Amino acid sequence: MILKVENVSIRYITGDFKEIGLKEYFVRKMKREYKVNEFWAVDGISFSLDKGDMLGIVGTNGAGKSTLLKAISGIMVPTKGVVERQGTIAALLELASGFDGDLTVKENAYLRGAMLGYTRSYMDETYDKIIDFAELKEFESRPFKQLSSGMKSRLAFSIASLVEPDILILDEVLSVGDGAFRKKSEQKMKEIIDGGATTILVSHSIEQVRDLCNKVLWMHRGKQIAFGETEEICDRYTDYLEGRLKL
Amino acid sequence: MLNKVVKYRFLFEELVKRDFKKKYKRTVLGMLWSLIAPLLQLGVMVLIFSKLFGRNTDHYIIYVFTGTLLFTYFSDATQGGMRALLMNAGIFSKVDVPKYMFLLSRNVQALINFALSLVIYFVLAILSGINFQWYFILLLYPIVCIMIFNLGVGMVLSAMFVFFRDIEYLYGVFVMLLNYLSVIFYTLDSFSEKAQMMFYMNPVYAYINYFRKIVIKNEIPSLRLHVLCAFYAVVMLAIGCWVYKKYNYKFLYYV
């Protein structure tokens, strides 16, 4: 077993000090009027994956998919439950964010590489490959903010897909760039998956999930509706989407 | 721990580079400006207050410069440090990186600025006929202390800033008040002995005074002042580390 998620729950708190500030917090605390609203974005999810498994996570907007991925990738500590991981993990979440608009494309590439835990020598070696794959050679020394959003995601994808992790997390990243690049990126993803990585894919395309995944997790408003074989769950999910099934 | 340092060294270097480039916008003037602004402030202060305090104070320009030099470093490092975490929320909410990195890199940035000002400080000191002695090397001691102290304050503030956004304004007011309490342009001669000791409750003043003792008075500070400087640094860093350890995993919920 390479990944085990056990009864994981994540709670967000709203209406507390982030909105009101320190002064108001003290005033309300004094008046005993201070209260917060809880919101369980992820509520009691359990599953486990073996080496080479490919899990698809499906669910409507706000189901808690992205939050769950943050817990799995270790960015977030779950409020309850545990995530056990074996081996290295690479998460490709919301690719285009976290870049700096004022830095050049090259500088951003190095910064991102550093964030993903690559070494400088590794970046020196692979930088040309990255920029070629992203087809951004002529934009190399432009400030990042001048790039189109498609170009940004292309760069992000090219850097991130270099890794050969044991667990790979993909959040809607297979829909990056224009048609030609999309083909190329799907090809690249398949290579990584065929290399034996355990992969988790969040997708709104049920065909893609049927195509690629051998297991499916269905989430709805933070709760786990089902986990198991692809065909059965995808059928039920499609029924739900088309209104033949009520939750 | 050592493992982590090696692992994240590349990231740290890249972050420092980024902050540096962003601050100075790759221009010579950008870099110059961050030196000119405090010098102008110094010029105005000397111009106005030398009539009041200058007559009884040796090397009044250096006296004031010592104050602004250290206080500017303190306010730059802590106010910048306060925002360091939140400004990089887009990064650490997507990638699993140690969050104190952002604070460290901002502190290095402030330190570079401080070092540049320090060069000008020494040039002015030479021009004013300051008597340089071997023990000027001791100045490294308060520098290291204030570095650690700033880091500690930055840790507390950056964590609080994630939870309470209005800290920014409150702290701005606090820094302004502390500025007036740091004996930058005036002297303590007219205060009683007891009142003079009270000023040591302000850590920044302790560091400023250490500097002045060596540079202007040409004397090695007392052991007590050494202990005090280290005490503030260590205590502040300990509090900072504690706050980070306690709240570090909660930041994500609030960004």
Q: Is A94 in Cβ contact with B94 (below 8 Å)?
A: yes
* Cβ contact A64:A221 at 8 Å: yes
Q: Which backbone phi and psi does A88 adopt, to 5 degrees? A: -80, 155
Give the CA-trace dihedral at B201, B204, B210, B213, to 10 degrees.
-90
Of residues B121 and A247, more confidently modeled:
B121
| Per-residue pLDDT tens digits for B135-144 | 999 999 999 9
Identify the residue with better confidence: B121 or B3: B121
Q: Are B253 and A13 within 8 A, CB to CB?
A: yes
Q: How far apart are CA A109 and CA B197, in angstroms?
A: 53
Under an 8 A CB cutoff, do A98 and B94 touch? Answer: yes
Pairing of strands A3-14, A37-49: antiparallel
How close A238 comes to chain B (CA, Å)? Answer: 30
Q: Which domain holds residue B150?
A: 2-253
**Alpha carbons A59 and A202: distance in angstroms, whole number:** 9
The minimal CB distance from A18 to the residues B13, B21, B254 is found for: B254
Q: For chain B, what is the domain count?
A: 1
Contact of A17 with chain B, judged by CB distance below 8 Å, is answered with: yes
- For residue B117, the model assigns a pLDDT of 93
What percent of chain B is predicted at pLDDT more than 90?
A: 67
**Residue numbers in A near B96 (CB within 8 A):** 73-75, 91
Identify the pLDDT of residue A153: 81
Q: For residue range B10-32, list pLDDT tens digits in order.
A: 889 999 998 888 887 777 777 78
Task: Judge whether A73 is closer than 8 Å to chain B, CB to CB.
Answer: yes
With beta carbons under 8 A apart, name residues in chain B contacting A74: 96
In three-state form (DSSP H/G/I as H, E/B as E, the rest C), the secondary structure along chain A is CCEEEEEEEEEEEECCHHHHHHHHHHHHHHCCCCCCEEEEEEEEEEEEECCCCEEEEECCCCCCHHHHHHHHHCCCCCCEEEEEECCCEEEECCCCCCCCCCCEHHHHHHHHHHHCCCCHHHHHHHHHHHHHHCCCHHHCCCEHHHCCHHHHHHHHHHHHCCCCCCEEEEECHHHCCCHHHHHHHHHHHHHHHHCCCEEEEECCCHHHHHHHCCEEEEEECCEEEEEEEHHHHHHHHHHHHCCCCCC
Residue in this structure with the two tokens 């004996």, named with its chain if needed: B183
**Which of the residue ranges B51-55, B80-84, B164-168, B251-255 would you say has the lowest mean pLDDT?**
B251-255
Q: Which residue of B has its CA nearest to A26?
A: B164
pLDDT at B115 (0 to 100): 94
For residue B52, is pLDDT > 70? yes
* B97: nearest CA partner in chain A: A115
* pLDDT tens, residue order, chain A (247 aa): 889 999 999 988 776 666 677 777 888 878 887 777 788 899 999 999 988 888 999 998 888 888 899 899 888 889 899 999 888 787 777 666 678 888 899 999 998 888 877 888 889 999 999 999 888 899 988 998 898 888 888 888 888 777 777 888 887 765 666 778 878 887 887 787 788 888 898 888 888 888 888 899 999 999 999 999 999 999 999 999 888 888 7
Q: What is the pTM of this model?
A: 0.87
What is the per-residue pLDDT across B168-204, written as a single tens digit (0 to 9) for each? 999 999 999 999 999 999 999 889 999 999 999 999 9
Buried b (16+ CB within 10 A) or exposed e, A204-241: eebeebeebbebbbbbbebbbbebeebeebbebbeebe
* pLDDT of amino acid A26: 80
* Per-residue confidence (pLDDT) for residue B194, from 0 to 100: 94
The residue that leads in pLDDT, B206 or B163, is B206
Residues of B in contact with A28 (CB under 8 A): none
Q: Which residues contact B223 (CB under 8 A, 6 or more apart)?
A: none
Measured between CB atoms, which of A18, A23, A73 is closest to B96?
A: A73
Best interface-test mutation with A: which of B86, B156, B162, B164 has the largest number of A CBs within 10 A?
Answer: B164
Q: What is the pLDDT of residue A180?
A: 80
Give me the phi and psi of B157, to 5 degrees please. -65, -45
What backbone torsions phi and psi does residue A54 show, to the nearest 5 degrees? -125, 115
- Asked whether the beta carbons of residue B170 and residue A74 sit closer than 8 angstroms, the reply is no
